[in-house]
Amino acid sequence: MSLSVKDRGAWVATYRYIHVALMETLARWVPTTPEMEVKLVFGSHIWYMAQHADALGKRTHELRLALQHSISPVKEYLGFLDELGGVTETSRRISGMYDVMLPALEVRLRSYLERTDHLMDAPTVRILERILDEEQRMIREGRELRDELPAVGGVDAGWIRRLAATESAVSDPVTPPATVVSAVRDAS
């Protein structure tokens, strides 16, 4: 089953929103993270997230939406992003981003790749393949950071499981296109 242009547009715009949110989360964390090595890794990952959001935002225009258009994910996923963004402890920030968020995002991106038509949606496929490659690098760098700084490596496994369960409890963060259209009409 092939996704419609409207469905693909909603998906890309939602994942653009998620990447912007992750970029902003990392940017908020940098000044309040005391370890310089962690700040440097977060800083380079801000750039990756910005690049990913930009590529997805350019794709939204090709899918009949405004350039750099974002669609907010469903309320439950917004709650998860807010919870992740509110983490204050460096070790939890590292675990939340590199053990929970990015691996979960990989699963969701790969699921989209399995559902979409690779010929009809080739530009999105290329963008997602690049994102997956770079986010794997980010996960690896997050793990290397923990190896270099054992003080930021220990996090309660129960907290990680709970955060991962919160993320995975949302079966699909994309607001259905019909809901987005009616929400826009209701606001006018």
Spatial separation of the C-alpha atoms in residues 171 and 90, rounded to whole Å: 28
- For residues 23-47, average pLDDT: 97
Residues 6-19: pLDDT tens digits? 999 999 999 999 99
Q: What is the token pair recorded at 80?
A: 């998860």
pTM of the predicted structure, to 2 decimals: 0.91
Residues 109-131: pLDDT tens digits? 999 999 999 999 999 999 999 99
Residues 118-177: pLDDT tens digits? 999 999 999 999 999 999 999 999 999 989 998 887 778 999 999 999 999 999 999 877
Query: In three state form, how does the secondary structure of the chain look?
Result: CCCCHHHHHHHHHHHHHHHHHHHHHHHHHHHHCCCHHHHHHHHHHHHHHHHHHHHHHHHHHHCCCCCCCCCCCCHHHHHHHHHHHCCCCHHHHHHHHHHHHHHHHHHHHHHHHHHCCCCCCHHHHHHHHHHHHHHHHHHHHHHHHHHHCHHHCCCCHHHHHHHHHHHHCCCCCCCCHHHHHHHHHHHC
Residues 45-73: pLDDT tens digits? 999 999 999 999 999 999 999 999 999 99
Domains of the chain, first to last:
5-177 (1.20.1260)
